[in-house]
Amino acid sequence: MTMTKQKKTEVAAKFKRHAKDTGNSSMQIAILTERIRQISDHLKNYKKDYASQLGLLRLVGQRRRLLNYVKKTDLAEYSKLLKQLEIRK
């Protein structure tokens, strides 16, 4: 259920700003979004996996905090992220 290293590097490469970029907010949000989608798919099959439900809620909260930060600092980047990742607001 964890995200594969290959998938994580693909997502990171898509949201990098420069060659040595290791974790800007946009990249972190994209990685969290991918993990949230994977856990959501898992929970569709295993409805009583309450540990995963708790993990999902924690990830959603973390992503929400990062999105709030990006919204405060760079509104254009925030709008672009919502559209790119297909996150509803």
Contact 27, 12 (CB under 8 A): yes
Q: Assess if residue 8 is contained within a domain.
A: no
- Which residue would you say has higher pLDDT here, 4 or 80? 80
Average pLDDT score, the chain: 92
Contact 81, 29 (CB under 8 A): yes
Q: What CATH code is carried by the domain that includes residue 69? A: 1.10.287.10
Number of compact structural domains in the chain: 1
Q: Assess if residue 14 is contained within a domain.
A: no
pLDDT of residue 89 exceeding 80, the answer is: no
- Written as six digits, the tokens of 88 are 């509803």
Q: Assess if residue 55 is contained within a domain.
A: yes
pLDDT score at 82: 95
pLDDT of residue 79 exceeding 90, the answer is: yes
- Find the domain containing 49 and state its range: 25-85
The one-letter amino acid code at 38 reads: Q
Q: Assess if residue 45 is contained within a domain.
A: yes
Q: Assess if residue 16 is contained within a domain.
A: no
